[in-house]
Structure 1
Amino acid sequence: MFATQLKALSLTFAVALSPLAVAEVDQHDASQHSRQIDIDSKVITEHKARINGDRLSYTAETGTQPVWDDQGHAVATLHYTYYKRDGVDDDTQRPLLISFNGGPGSASVWMHLAYTGPKVLKIDDEGYPVQPYGVKENPYSVLDVADIVYVNPVNTGYSRVLPDADGKMPSRDKQKDMFFGVNADIQYLAEWLNTFVHRHNRWRSPKFLIGESYGTTRVSGLALELQNSQWMYLNGVVLVSPTEIGIKREGPVEAANRLPYFAATAWYHKALDEQYQNMDLEPFLSEVETFTVNELIPALAKGGFISDDEKRRIVAQMARYAGVSETYIERNNLDVPTMSFWKELLRERGQTVGRLDSRYLGIDKRDTGERPDYWAELTSWLHSFTPAINYYLSEELNYKTDVKYNMFGSVHPWDRSNNNTGENLRLAMAQNPYLNVLIQSGYYDGATNYFDAKYTMWQLDPSGKMKERLSFKGYRSGHMMYLRRADLESSNNDLREFILNALPEQGAAAKY
């Protein structure tokens, strides 16, 4: 790498000193100055950190690796960052954690620079941006127990579709078939991971997938795709703020499952009567969950034929739990839309609450209306994540490119048909007795609410035969629960414990 840098430096001085050289550069074809990412590249840097109380050294490898089609032609290139702890003599005992974010269309920046990686954003203890922007050491990272690779799917981060041999880009329809859909996404990423594991000699290592939001759909599908198409078996899958992963929640269940999230948000903003406001959050939510399952779902199932007395009782209790008026509940026929709730809860205070994290407050042009003008939490997060990832990759990891880092890339329309990822995860677990699943959710997440996540866990294996390998952890924050410093610590500790507990004892065979 030093020789390459010296050559580039020499060329810079030669161009600066020679008029002829300047003329030659001006005459070059414009295509030589196109903004393109290297198809196959890597830069390795060395670092030290204090994690979980111990000093350790590690290498960071960031670069690109191609996606090949069936004929062996490079059709895209994916940007990744790979952290590997130094001084590990036996990789066969060293877990590899493979990390994806969601969207679909989101870069793998959020968990990279705010959750599991060795560096996190400079933010306050509740997750709000502060200037100057940048990164700081993450003392809770799981790098002490697992090496980590963060993968950016096509069109996110620096990852890009490539032109064909004739220099032509595939049509948008062709790109959709290749990359932009539930199943296409899973298939090409499984192939890419096979190459990555092979290049880095990690075939014998215990492997874990972690995905956030839509990334949970991705890793749920990958669990079976890796087994069936790549013959790669996992020890664990972690679902952070999961989507429905193909497990339907419709009608009365969908409507009722929102109430525990409404209650958590109202509790946080002190919008409840003293009876509930004086309770601690978890015992309060346990009471709301019991009401939801045992009373609200049956009431909603009766629709317009519910008795007047039962309806009045249900409406009154919902209003007390959610911190809104009985009139508001009744006008919505007990089926309160989340979009409307974000506007309604603090309407009298002249504030709205955030979608992905309802601790965040916004202000609208008008206090009337049925939805907020903007998402207060997302604008807050983009404040700090965008400058931090651009600075970090370039200045600390030394990855230089003029290509724009896509926080959100062009991947739509996304083909959501034939989403069987939840069933695929169940089947992968059934086929692989080593495979365990952890679900992590924030109580104040209104986009993928925590009670939906619990419901997904309950429905994932209807037989109940694998429930000992399924676990749930909740946190007092939102979609990205790790932004709150207390939850950054607890969520990493929960993840660390999950990884270590999912490693089989020496000689324990994968069998029932």
Structure 2
Amino acid sequence: MKSGLSLIALALAVATPAMLHAEDAPADKVKAEKSTDYEPQVRTTKLSGTFGGQRVAYAATIGETILKNKDGVPEAAIVTTSYIKEPRDPSRPVTFLFNGGPGSGTVWLMMGAFGPKRVAIPSDARDDGAPPYPIVDNPDSLLDVTDIVFIDPPGTGFSHLIGNAKPEDYYGVTQDAKAVAEVIRRWLNDNGRWNSPKFLGGESYGTTRSAAVANQLMNVTYNDVGLNGIILISTVLDFAAGSDAPGNELGFITNLPSMAATALYHGKASASSVEQFVEEARQWAIGPYAAALLKGQKLQGDERAQIRRELSRFTGLSETFLENADLRVTPGRFYKELLRDRGLTVGRLDSRYTGRDYDNAGEEPDNDPSFYGIDASYTAAINSWSRETLGFKTDLEYQSIGGIGRLWDWRIGGRDTNAYLNVAPYIGQALRENSGLRVFVGQGYYDFATPFFAAEYSLSRTGIPQDRVEYQYYAAGHMMYIRDEDRHKLASDIRAFIRAR
């Protein structure tokens, strides 16, 4: 998700920051709504369910928070959907969640992983088919251990700009983070929750947003909101680690373990377990393969032949193909080549999925089967839940995968960092300056949008304390919660993370 995107605006065409998640598709609503006299809508519904084995009564509130400019003129209506256990407890943890993109609504995390209801689609990497899609109780929701507030940032979900608001004031790494941080502070004020344990999290570009929002809350704009935990699901912090731009060797290194996992899954490699094989791939990628790539055209003879043989063993691709690619296989080529002999492609968001192109001769797939295999069901579910059950009234379309990424300002710190966007140092500073803060990192083995080895790389750099960063891995892709076993595991892992505060 989705975390987008491509799929949620969220998940990363990591080569180009503006195409992140599978959540980044053309937008049809990027202009501001033409109204300056805006009355926010708030709807509350009392419900109950069983989560984590506990029966919980809760209030579900979907409502708009109005952001104004310095002159008090409304500029943005930000929709939040909160689930609060009753009776209310000001000392209970609260978790703020959003998806990625940029441009993705919270549909993916809310209707797929942590909301009280979820859309039930095939767990085994098959497509979601046609409606109706079952919307079922979600015992994996985290409502037994935390209240949850899902935030749709400006330009996502039902959130939108108002009147003469300028997109450039909201569509950017820092601008977006400031808006989300303001919504969080306003929610804490309105709900009397300043002294609650607080967790912040996102998926895909939502992890980028998590780092930037934490920076706004703890270091820059406010400096007054302490966090207990940051939850990173399908992480992208250092964009160079996933970029296959010509001349950047790092992306070939960080993608290699994901290729190994995928080759093993589809029977193109052999090993005793995926865990064993990806660990072997990690060590080879950061060692002999990295050294070989850095030698460039000086890599010749027996040394080159040995690298080619090992690369073939890990990727499942022929030595002839690898030699023609100069030992550097971009993800797009890998999706098309791995199962070419079967007439199939593999997915980007989740490489367990396979698809069939118009023909078998191209260099890259026509589309991502792991996106078109799930998108209709999630869109149907969020509209049904928000409009019909929670009673939200609007003529706006829900932007599950809007295209505001093409308007995105990727600069941070007043610098043009489009070529090397890296928000991991925000995480490092937050950990160094808050001894009670911990970070959870959840990664799927079959995710090429935000490869797990790229996440490990970005969070192992100088200045990031390692003793409070926890990693968990899942046998699925970008949206690991699609797979039933991994949704249970993800919920259990995060429950434990929250309880250990």
Q: Normalised by the size of structure 1, how large is the TM-score?
A: 0.85
Query: More displaced, 246-255 or 410-419?
Result: 246-255
Considering Cα pairs closer than 8 Å and 6+ residues apart, tell me whether 1 or 2 has the greater RCO: 2
2:303 pairs with 1:323:
no
Q: 1:53 to 1:96 in 2, by over 3 A?
A: same
Deviation at 1:428, TM superposition (A): 1.4
Give the aligned partner of residue 394 of structure 2. Answer: 401
Distance 1:289 1:104 in 2: 29
Alignment of 1:88-103 (within 5 A): 88=88, 90-92=89-91, 94-103=92-101
Distance 1:98 1:481 in 2: 20
Structure 1 residue corresponding to 2:251, chosen from 251, 254, 261: 254
Alignment of 1:462-473 (within 5 A): 462-463=462-463, 466-473=465-472
2:119 aligned partner, one-letter code? L
2:410 aligned partner, one-letter code? R
Q: Contact (CA 8 Å) 2:237, 2:422: kept in 1 or not?
A: no
Give the aligned partner of residue 293 of structure 2. Answer: 300
| Secondary structure of 1:129's aligned partner | coil
2:56 pairs with 1:56:
yes
Q: 1:226 to 1:246 in 2, by over 3 A?
A: farther
Distance 1:81 1:108 in 2: 9
Deviation at 1:332, TM superposition (A): 1.3
Deviation readout 1:378-410 (Å, 9 max, x if unpaired): 111112111111111112212222221111234
Deviation at 1:248, TM superposition (A): 5.3
Q: 1:107 to 1:38 in 2, by over 3 A?
A: farther
Q: Contact (CA 8 Å) 2:201, 2:231: kept in 1 or not?
A: yes
Give the aligned partner of residue 447 of structure 1. Answer: 449
Give the aligned partner of residue 430 of structure 1. Answer: 432
2:72 aligned partner, one-letter code? G
Q: 1:137 to 1:195 in 2, by over 3 A?
A: same
Q: 1:316 to 1:247 in 2, by over 3 A?
A: closer
2:447 aligned partner, one-letter code? D
| Secondary structure of 1:205's aligned partner | coil
2:201 pairs with 1:203:
no
1:52 aligned partner, one-letter code? G
Distance 2:298 2:432 in 1: 42
Q: Give 1 or 2 for the bigger CA radius of gyration.
A: 1
1:201 aligned partner, one-letter code? G
1:479 aligned partner, one-letter code? H
Deviation at 1:240, TM superposition (A): 0.8
Deviation at 1:455, TM superposition (A): 1.0
Give the aligned partner of residue 6 of structure 2. Answer: none
2:117 aligned partner, one-letter code? K
Q: Contact (CA 8 Å) 1:38, 1:64: kept in 2 or not?
A: no
Give the aligned partner of residue 338 of structure 1. Answer: 331
Deviation at 1:318, TM superposition (A): 0.8
Distance 1:261 1:248 in 2: 13
Give the aligned partner of residue 18 of structure 1. Answer: none
Q: Contact (CA 8 Å) 1:39, 1:77: kept in 2 or not?
A: no
Distance 1:150 1:298 in 2: 44
Alignment of 1:163-174 (within 5 A): 163=163, 169-170=164-165, 174=166
Structure 2 residue corresponding to 1:271, chosen from 268, 276, 284: 268
Aligned length: 452
Deviation readout 1:157-205 (Å, 9 max, x if unpaired): 1111000xxxxx34xxx321x1111111111221222111111111111
1:388 aligned partner, one-letter code? A
Distance 1:39 1:494 in 2: 40
Note the residue ranges of structure 2 that are not aligned, 5 or more in a row: 1-33, 413-420
1:485 aligned partner, one-letter code? D
| Secondary structure of 1:115's aligned partner | helix
Give the aligned partner of residue 234 of structure 2. Answer: 241
Deviation readout 1:93-126 (Å, 9 max, x if unpaired): x111100101001111100100111111121233
Q: What fraction of aligned residue pairs are identical, expressed as a percent?
A: 35
Alignment of 1:9-158 (within 5 A): 39-88=39-88, 90-92=89-91, 94-126=92-124, 128-129=127-128, 131-158=131-158
Deviation at 1:226, TM superposition (A): 0.3
2:460 pairs with 1:458:
yes
* The structure with more helix, counted as a fraction of residues: 1
1:155 aligned partner, one-letter code? G
Deviation at 1:80, TM superposition (A): 1.2
Distance 1:136 1:36 in 2: 39
Q: 1:37 to 1:370 in 2, by over 3 A?
A: farther
| Secondary structure of 1:453's aligned partner | helix
Distance 1:384 1:101 in 2: 17
Q: Contact (CA 8 Å) 1:213, 1:243: kept in 2 or not?
A: yes
Give the aligned partner of residue 415 of structure 1. Answer: 409
Deviation readout 1:220-239 (Å, 9 max, x if unpaired): 01112101322111011111
Q: Contact (CA 8 Å) 2:49, 2:137: kept in 1 or not?
A: yes
